[in-house]
Structure 1
Amino acid sequence: MLQRFFIFCSGADTQILETCSNGERNKYVGIGATVFFTAVMAFIASGYALYTVFDNIYTAVFFGFIWGLLIFNLDRYIVSTIKKRDHFKSELLQAAPRIVLAIIIAVVISKPLEMKIFEKEINQVLLEEKNAMTLANQEQIALQYTPKVDAINQEISHLKNEIAAKESETNALYDVYISEAEGTAGTGLLGKGPVYKEKREKHDAYLAELRQLKETNGQKIQALEAQIIALGTDYQTAVTDSQPIIDGFDGLMARINALGKLPWFPSFFIFLLFLAIETAPIIAKLLAPKGEYDYKFEEQESVVATWVTQKVAQRKLLMSTDGAVNEQVYADIKNEQELYRYKKEKAEELLRLQADSFHNVQMKGL
């Protein structure tokens, strides 16, 4: 049962192969097994690759199975159509398109396995990239809020400077009227005279203005600081909202790029492994010596080709002979007087009928 299945996988003619020796059948069992297991490896690799894309095992298994069937059918077809010839170059020329395709397929299906083998290293590379992206994202979002915060801080500084300046002026007036009362400055008279009262009133007026300025600017500063807090909240919200996008940066393309940043030597040998697996059916057929099955298959093809060639030649000869006979028959008929008279009578009768019909049409029109 298993032998028949692998023979089916090889694409060989079972009727011819049944008449061959056991050794010849075993050769095609090996070729069929190579075709089958190549398709199985293609199914596994493509299934994992699709799982990294869709993140759904059922979708990955379904499309991976379709891909495996495609590779199986392609290998079976190419192996069955490669004919053993007396020259290896002609056989290699037949297999050249499949070898090129095998290189492409090997690149495609080797990547998922490489990503699985080097998963930890890839995760480390992705983690570093995510951290860098997070910092870059925070800096980029901060560019939207930093100018606003700086402008608000400058306005707060201006308001505080106004208070400080007013406070300095008030303190200076305080020192003036105290010095006047002590007699150490101004009029030099000790006591609270008229000059003292004037300077004291001026200080008190500045002090009232200072208190009013502190209250007014304090309210403005509180409002501006609330704006800064609101901007900080908006910034944190923007960073939080964009972080899931960065956290989800681990798709197939991201992993392939991360794999490309790892040393190439191990990946290259995995690629060579899959290239060998993909080309195994073709190589097995090319390396297999020309055996009993190939001679019988070639004989069968020769019989069919000869039979078709004979049929085509017979049809051409029949057509040329039939044409020559028809020419001879019509040449003989051409000389028959009785046939001439009969056709002349029929032609005269047809002309009379046409003339009568034309006359009737003209009469109806008058």
Structure 2
Amino acid sequence: MLKKFFIICSGSDTDILDQCSIGEQNKFAGIGATVFFTAVMAFIACSYALFTVFDNLYAAIGFGFVWALLIFNLDRFIVSTIKKRDNIMDEILQASPRLILAVIIAVVISKPLELKIFEKEINQVLLEQKNDLTLANKTQIAQQFTPNVEALEGHIKALQSQIQTKETEVNALYGTYISEAEGTAGTNLLGKGPVYKEKREKHDAALAELQQLKSDNKAKILVAENQIEQLKTDYDTQVLTSQPVIDGFDGLMARVNALGELSWLPSLFILLLFLAIETSPIFAKLLSPKGEYDYKLEDAETAVKTWVEQKVNERKVLLKTDQILNNKIYNDIAEEDELYTYKRKKARELMQLQADAFFNHQKNAL
């Protein structure tokens, strides 16, 4: 049963092959098995590739099954159309387009399987790329907020600098009126005289200004700090919003590009393996000698070809003979007086009818 199935997969004529030896049947069963298992590998490769795209197992299996049927049909067609010839160059010319198609199919099948085989290495490359993208993304987003944050921080420093300057001024005024009271500076008179009072009032006014400045600048600093916090919150929000896009950077194209960054030698070996699998049925037919099946198939085809050519030639001879007979018959009839008289009479009647019709038409027009 399994042998019969593989023979059907080989695309051979089962009626003819049933009349051949067991060895001949086994040869085509092996070719059919290669075609079948190539389709199975195509199903696995396509399902995995589409699963990385759709993230849906059922959709990937469905499309993979359709793809496997397509590859199976193409391989079966390629193998079944290669026929043994008497000239090896004719066979090579016949197989060359099919070999090119087989190479294309092998490349298409092998690439998704390479992605699966080297999945761990590809994931490592993708992780590094994602980290780089994350850092680059944070840098780009920061460029949108950093100028505003720096401007607000500079404004806060300016406000704090105003307070410090005012505090220095107040401290200086405090030292002045204390020295005046102690008699160590100013008038050098011990006690709280008019000069002391003047300097004390000046200090108290500056102190009041300092208190008011602290109050005003503290409110301004609080507003600026709230703005900075809001900018930082917006920055974090934008980073979190864009991060899923980077986390999802593991689609089919990203994996293919990541595979390209790995060593090319293992991928080449896998590609060569699938090239060998895909082209092996073709080379098996090319290299194998002309067998019993090939002779019987050629006999059946040439029988049909001969019968069709015979029918075509018979029709050509029949047409030529009919033309000769018709020419001879019409030549003989042309010499009969009775036929001449009859056609002369009918021609006269026809011309009379034409003359009457023309006359009536002209009369109606006038």
TM class, shorter-chain normalised? over 0.9
Matched to 1:224, the amino acid is A
Aligned to 2:26: 26
The structural deviation recorded for 1:46 is 1.6
Matched to 2:299, the amino acid is E
Aligned to 2:167: 167
**Structure-1 separation of matches of 2:95 and 2:60:** 31
Matched to 1:303, the amino acid is A
Structure 1 position 301 matched with structure 2 position 297 = no
**Structure-2 separation of matches of 1:50 and 1:175:** 83
**Structure-2 separation of matches of 1:200 and 1:108:** 93
Range with greater deviation from structure 2 (201-210 or 100-109) = 100-109
**Structure-2 separation of matches of 1:24 and 1:218:** 99
Aligned to 2:116: 116
The structural deviation recorded for 1:303 is 1.9
**Structure-2 separation of matches of 1:159 and 1:12:** 93
**SS of equivalent to 1:89:** helix
Matched to 1:11, the amino acid is G
Aligned to 2:55: 55
**SS of equivalent to 2:223:** helix
**Structure-2 separation of matches of 1:353 and 1:86:** 73
**Structure-2 separation of matches of 1:188 and 1:285:** 124
What TM-score do the two structures reach when normalised by structure 2? 0.94
The structural deviation recorded for 1:214 is 0.9
Aligned to 1:342: 342
The structural deviation recorded for 1:149 is 0.2
Structural mapping, 1:80-91, within 5 Å:
80-91=80-91
Does structure 1 conserve the Cα–Cα contact (< 8 Å) formed by 2:71 and 2:105?
Answer: no
Does structure 1 conserve the Cα–Cα contact (< 8 Å) formed by 2:176 and 2:185?
Answer: yes
Structural mapping, 1:1-366, within 5 Å:
1-365=1-365
The structural deviation recorded for 1:365 is 4.7
Does structure 1 conserve the Cα–Cα contact (< 8 Å) formed by 2:6 and 2:33?
Answer: yes
TM-align CA RMSD: 1.7
- 1:68-97 Cα deviation digits (max 9, x unpaired): 111111111121111112333322222222
Range with greater deviation from structure 2 (116-125 or 155-164) = 116-125
Matched to 1:181, the amino acid is A
**Structure-2 separation of matches of 1:29 and 1:105:** 21
Matched to 2:310, the amino acid is Q
Range with greater deviation from structure 2 (61-70 or 332-341) = 332-341
Matched to 1:14, the amino acid is T
The structural deviation recorded for 1:354 is 2.5
**Structure-2 separation of matches of 1:186 and 1:25:** 127
Does structure 1 conserve the Cα–Cα contact (< 8 Å) formed by 2:141 and 2:238?
Answer: yes
Does structure 1 conserve the Cα–Cα contact (< 8 Å) formed by 2:7 and 2:14?
Answer: yes
Matched to 1:126, the amino acid is L
Structure 1 gap ranges (5+): none
What TM-score do the two structures reach when normalised by structure 1? 0.94
Structure 2 gap ranges (5+): none
**SS of equivalent to 1:344:** helix
- 1:294-317 Cα deviation digits (max 9, x unpaired): 111112222222222222222222
Does structure 2 conserve the Cα–Cα contact (< 8 Å) formed by 1:49 and 1:109?
Answer: no
**Structure-1 separation of matches of 2:302 and 2:103:** 35
The structural deviation recorded for 1:329 is 2.3
**Structure-2 separation of matches of 1:32 and 1:243:** 50
The 3 A distance-change label for structure 1 pair 49 and 344 is same
**Structure-1 separation of matches of 2:201 and 2:237:** 53
Matched to 1:137, the amino acid is N
The 3 A distance-change label for structure 1 pair 11 and 356 is same
**Structure-2 separation of matches of 1:25 and 1:167:** 107
**SS of equivalent to 1:249:** coil
Does structure 2 conserve the Cα–Cα contact (< 8 Å) formed by 1:47 and 1:60?
Answer: yes
**SS of equivalent to 2:187:** coil
**SS of equivalent to 1:290:** coil
- 1:327-365 Cα deviation digits (max 9, x unpaired): 222222322222222122112212222333333344445
**Structure-2 separation of matches of 1:158 and 1:214:** 13
